[in-house]
Chains A and B, each alone.
Chain A
């Protein structure tokens, strides 16, 4: 393999101009009759909501959290929000967004899932079905199919090699991630396209991939160069030396997620691009040595914060029309465990961010951390269903018909009312 390969060498040729003439991708044909953009950022592994959004004013908080508790004031203190709440000091951009009324913080929130398996919980969060493995498609995809005629968004984009469950389903969704492999020549690609003609899955996938790369190429060249420079500055190595990257991997979270966010923005900012994007992040399962103002979790939160800042910056004027939902599969135990971390819990924190969000608020019906208030004497008790937020955003931001929300998008959820006033009027 060519040692100097890069994304640009792969996509920066005239190949895709030619390719697009015979590619029947539906991706680039998305109708642009609404300006609304939606991004779902999934935090896999269960974010510790009590550290990300520490209730520093709750009388039980610091004793439950022991050595990982965040301080109310002084060095490394939580950044102040309303009520008893603070934000983790690593979340500086989010805190500024809160001040700018572009961030709504959600707390004591949960999906309908009440057990403690990551994998089932992620399945419920992504499928939108209250039963684990109850559906093989995702709520975002089904919402796309429910859009009214004339506002139909035929496509979303998943930032990654493959499409996560939340985005799978009947609506066409492409996946895109930077490739490090040298380009195919146009003639070979045309022959492969022919060879796939009788294979509906592969021909659609290939067409979507080429269309996505063309979009990414056009929109991302500048941002890409910038982020690669950042990665190099941060790690002192060429981004290509992947196998050697292990030691620096953790410090790379900032650069990696910011690059992904920029790529997402590159798709979303186009008039003819997809209106919905999703990407996921991992490493939130902090069973041991979670850390407080500094440490393992702080590092990841900084990466998330940088990614959100990169998203806003790259979207430019489109940020005004954007809503980002940042959510995780469940929360973590109220108390610190025996290995200076936290175990699987229930009530979690989530964020709603973007220029279209009616922010500057903490939306929580706070149950408190007193032992009697905890679920099973161990977890933050959830007082709000995450689907109320998802429904509110889909209805008021993407104009998904309310009728589709209770069955098609979120099966068996008639009792779960969409939250009002999440979106700026």
Chain B
């Protein structure tokens, strides 16, 4: 490689595959840009640290306790005939009071890590997976759990096998609650028969939400060759995948295991018994292991390999990723039995990944992270620091749907979004003022991808902060 090409490749490694270059970083990257990425995959992934981070089970156990209290109150009120609206309001207010500080701690710790990490490629991958397995805090029940799901289920497995990642995520309380599986009850399960005998009119039943999204979004993809009947069959197989400690007084009275509060719990009494046939394979009546076996098989199917490889390539390279790259990644997936670093290597060893084309318009989160890294902006208090994500339209852990944030340029390059970005850039530039020199910074951040026009505009700026605004607003900093 010539030195100019290495310089370009270094900027691409740091900006397209990382979270944005930091001043002084590119020369070391330029030594061997591909190897700089590969090295980040080695060794165990970093553990997030920060004030207030705690296990999801602890948070959830607290919430379950709260709900029991409220339910008790409600029962008491029902007995003396008073209206139970007050109890409902109390639940509505107590839950966020427990959750909100947890959410802020999680989002802040992740933000701090994103701007400080020496392994930005690994962090991008982590956040890719969090978005692939999206939960969204507009469903209040996951507000205090979404960040913990990333730390507990995703981070430790980003450089392992997809199978393990998949199993960990689908069993995480945040996912079970987000897609309503915790209360999915097989019509022939012990619990359903018990409820039926009591004849209190409450019908127990299957909720197929999680099963559908696993097939459509997490594994095979919507064109992955499954049918509505496969969705129903799979939903039966994972009925009983629930959470311990929930308020089930009737079952408790029967002495049935209620699990550890806030942790994954296989409720055998909710599980629909029977062998199942899915996508040409038979799964024996094996309780928890039935659903696990299906997930293991799904992880290794060609449709899954292709679907997820396409998403990865789209995320890093271009809205319409080069078919050859996707093909190589799919092959690597199947050959390595879904060993993720092997798949990542197939991506970064593809020459198409290194073309100097700016195939992607940054997402707001990309833009914020890279700006903080570029200017070395110090973090302030939680609320003020996190407001940027809200203001630019990508609040942490709130993609709004199980499909996650959209991942193509037209999803993000709207006129209003652009103006907000430019206005925000100006605010942070003014905050940094003369503490940074844009003329020195620009080549350090963008390397050989810095255009003459941008360099010229920065050079002619009327003030230091205006020069910084122009740097952050430049077409090459908006893209990656």
Residues of A within 8 A of B (CB): 1-2, 10, 44-45, 66-67, 115-120, 132, 136, 158, 160-163, 168, 174-177, 179-185, 187-189, 191-192, 194-196, 198-199, 201-202, 204-210, 212-213, 242-244, 246-247, 249-250, 282-283, 285, 287-288, 336-339, 341, 343-344, 376
Residues of B within 8 A of A (CB): 92-93, 96-97, 99-100, 103-104, 137-138, 140, 143, 179-180, 183-185, 201-209, 212, 216-217, 222, 228, 231, 382-384, 386-388, 390-393, 400-401, 403, 410-420, 422-424, 426-427, 453-454, 457, 461-462, 466, 469-470, 473-475, 478
Docked-complex contact A160 and B416, CB < 8 angstroms: yes
CA distance A246 to B386 in the complex (A): 14
Docked-complex contact A247 and B416, CB < 8 angstroms: no
Docked-complex contact B393 and A343, CB < 8 angstroms: no
Docked-complex contact A242 and B183, CB < 8 angstroms: no
- Residues of chain B within 8 A (CB-CB) of A168 are 410
Which B-chain residue is minimally distant from A285 (CB atoms)? B401
Partner of A158, one of B93, B414, B423, B478: B414
Ranked nearest first, the 7 interchain pairs of A and B with the lowest CB-CB distance are: A338-B205, A162-B414, A247-B96, A175-B414, A209-B419, A209-B415, A208-B415
* Given A198-B453, A249-B138, also A338-B184 (CB < 8 A): yes
Partner of B473, one of A45, A115, A192, A243: A192
Which B-chain residue is minimally distant from A199 (CB atoms)? B475
Docked-complex contact A66 and B419, CB < 8 angstroms: no
Docked-complex contact A338 and B207, CB < 8 angstroms: yes
Docked-complex contact B183 and A339, CB < 8 angstroms: yes
Docked-complex contact A119 and B403, CB < 8 angstroms: yes
Closest-CB distance, B255 to chain A (whole angstroms) = 24
- Residues of chain B within 8 A (CB-CB) of A189 are 422
- Residues of chain B within 8 A (CB-CB) of A1 are 384, 387-388, 391, 427
CA distance A41 to B62 in the complex (A): 39
CA distance A179 to B140 in the complex (A): 25
Which B-chain residue is minimally distant from A174 (CB atoms)? B415
Closest-CB distance, A76 to chain B (whole angstroms) = 14
Docked-complex contact B470 and A181, CB < 8 angstroms: no
Closest-CB distance, B371 to chain A (whole angstroms) = 13
- Residues of chain A within 8 A (CB-CB) of B469 are 184, 188, 192
CA distance A376 to B232 in the complex (A): 13
CA distance A192 to B425 in the complex (A): 12
CA distance A198 to B369 in the complex (A): 26
- Residues of chain A within 8 A (CB-CB) of B416 are 160-162, 174-177, 179, 209, 212
Docked-complex contact A184 and B426, CB < 8 angstroms: yes
Partner of B228, one of A182, A288, A376: A376
Docked-complex contact B222 and A117, CB < 8 angstroms: yes
Task: Show 24 residue pairs from A and B whose CB-CB distance is below 8 angstroms, ordered by the A residue.
Answer: A1-B427, A67-B201, A119-B216, A161-B416, A161-B417, A163-B410, A175-B414, A179-B419, A181-B423, A182-B426, A182-B427, A183-B423, A187-B466, A191-B457, A192-B473, A195-B454, A195-B457, A198-B453, A243-B387, A246-B96, A246-B140, A247-B100, A338-B205, A344-B212
Docked-complex contact A195 and B470, CB < 8 angstroms: yes
Q: Interface residues of B: mostly helix, strand, loop or mixed?
A: helix
Q: Other than the known A288-B183, A337-B205, what 12 A-B pairs have Cβ atoms closer than 8 Å?
A: A66-B201, A115-B228, A116-B231, A181-B420, A183-B423, A185-B426, A188-B470, A195-B473, A206-B418, A246-B137, A282-B400, A288-B180
Which A-chain residue is minimally distant from B239 (CB atoms)? A338
- Residues of chain B within 8 A (CB-CB) of A179 are 391, 416, 419-420, 423
CA distance A372 to B147 in the complex (A): 46
Docked-complex contact B228 and A116, CB < 8 angstroms: yes
Which B-chain residue is minimally distant from A295 (CB atoms)? B88
Which B-chain residue is minimally distant from A376 (CB atoms)? B228
CA distance A67 to B413 in the complex (A): 45
Docked-complex contact A195 and B414, CB < 8 angstroms: no
Which B-chain residue is minimally distant from A182 (CB atoms)? B427
Docked-complex contact B401 and A118, CB < 8 angstroms: yes
* Given A243-B104, A246-B103, also A210-B419 (CB < 8 A): yes
CA distance A207 to B418 in the complex (A): 10
Docked-complex contact A162 and B207, CB < 8 angstroms: no
- Residues of chain B within 8 A (CB-CB) of A242 are 387, 390-391
CA distance A194 to B92 in the complex (A): 51
Partner of A191, one of B208, B419, B427, B461: B461
- Residues of chain A within 8 A (CB-CB) of B415 are 163, 174-176, 204-209, 212
CA distance A207 to B419 in the complex (A): 9
Docked-complex contact B401 and A282, CB < 8 angstroms: yes
Closest-CB distance, B212 to chain A (whole angstroms) = 7
- Residues of chain B within 8 A (CB-CB) of A187 are 462, 466
- Residues of chain B within 8 A (CB-CB) of A184 are 422-423, 426, 469
* Given A119-B222, A282-B138, also A339-B419 (CB < 8 A): no
- Residues of chain A within 8 A (CB-CB) of B201 are 66-67
Docked-complex contact A202 and B478, CB < 8 angstroms: yes
Docked-complex contact A201 and B413, CB < 8 angstroms: yes
